[in-house]
């Protein structure tokens, strides 16, 4: 990793250790569940990333393939075609660190080469065998997210999350990924029932013994709508879920609505520090 991007990486991780951190979502996809198709044009994507930064996000997470249930798989070539010009332009125009949301080592490697400082892998190194080596070689930040291929309402979701994290952390350790650059994400909305999504947030304290930062991505997820009689997760529901997660020990929040979360988390942090 080149020195300017190393500085961005270390500055970002320093913030994570001091206060709640907001990760702004930029999907350059046609089919993401909330904002699919809005930022496929390079100019629109760059403009939105600049708005996220102006609203106060600490890092922008860029995705080129939807991870929603039923989404059409995208080849590495097509994913890179969506991501590469946006990442290249943003690393040139802004000092805000960039994260790449991908499960493919080839895509991650190119994004890191262009200046991204983090890889957000929704399969926690367990999808592409080459991913761990790519992250290790670049000395990038790694987000390990819990995932399941299907829902199972009979399981203890926190026990399943721990088993998944243990396997992913073993892969990370074997590849030489520094533990101080690893973040855990329980994967809200991925392979979980509504009840299990709520349990994962309510029981975050059970993950504190990993002594790693915890990221929560509940933004606009459908289970929130089911709690408020809405068709989708509302902004208010998202902020409420994020604050509940903050109370349980989460320190990073992957959201669509950055300004509102920056303000809410600033108040939350100030009160907790009193």
The catalytic site residues sit at 221, 254
The Cα–Cα gap between 81 and 38 comes to: 16
Per the CB < 8 A criterion, the answer to whether 71 and 36 are in contact is: no
The SS3 call for residue 81 is: helix
- Kind plus residue range of the DSSP H or E element containing 184: strand 182-185
Q: Regarding beta strands 118-121 and 252-255, do their DSSP bridges make them parallel or antiparallel, or are they unpaired?
A: unpaired
For residue 144, the Cα-to-chain-centroid distance in whole angstroms is: 9
Q: What are phi and psi of 98, to 5 degrees?
A: -115, 140
CA–CA gap between residue 205 and residue 257 (Å, rounded): 25
* Contact between 79 and 64 (Cβ < 8 Å): yes
The most distant pair of C-alpha atoms in the chain lies apart, rounded to whole Å, by: 50
Sole residue written with tokens 């198709």: 37
Phi, then psi, of 24 in degrees rounded to 5 = -85, 140
């Amino acid at each position: 990793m080149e020195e300017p991007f190393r500085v961005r990486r270390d500055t970002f991780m320093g913030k994570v250790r001091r206060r709640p951190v907001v990760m702004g979502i930029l999907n350059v996809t046609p089919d993401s569940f909330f904002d699919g198709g809005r930022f496929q044009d390079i100019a629109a994507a760059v403009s939105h990333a600049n708005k996220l930064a102006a609203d106060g996000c600490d890092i922008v997470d860029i995705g080129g393939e939807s991870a929603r249930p039923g989404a059409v798989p995208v080849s590495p070539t097509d994913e890179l075609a969506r991501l590469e010009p946006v990442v290249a332009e943003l690393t040139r125009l802004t000092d805000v660190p960039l994260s790449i949301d991908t499960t493919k080592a080839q895509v991650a490697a190119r994004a890191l080469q262009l200046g991204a400082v983090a890889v957000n892998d929704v399969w926690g190194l367990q999808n592409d065998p080459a991913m761990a080596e790519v992250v290790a070689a670049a000395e990038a930040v790694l987000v390990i997210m819990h995932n399941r291929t299907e829902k199972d309402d009979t399981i203890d979701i926190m026990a399943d999350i721990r088993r998944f994290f243990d396997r992913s952390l073993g892969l990370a350790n074997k590849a030489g990924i520094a533990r101080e650059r690893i973040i855990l994400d329980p994967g809200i909305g991925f392979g979980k029932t509504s009840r299990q999504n709520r349990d994962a947030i309510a029981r975050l304290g059970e993950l504190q013994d990993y002594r790693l930062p915890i990221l929560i991505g509940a933004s606009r997820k459908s289970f929130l709508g089911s709690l408020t009689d809405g068709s989708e997760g509302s902004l208010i529901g998202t902020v409420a879920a994020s604050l509940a997660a903050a109370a349980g020990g989460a320190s990073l929040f992957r959201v669509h609505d950055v300004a509102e979360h920056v303000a809410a988390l600033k108040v939350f942090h100030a009160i907790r520090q009193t």
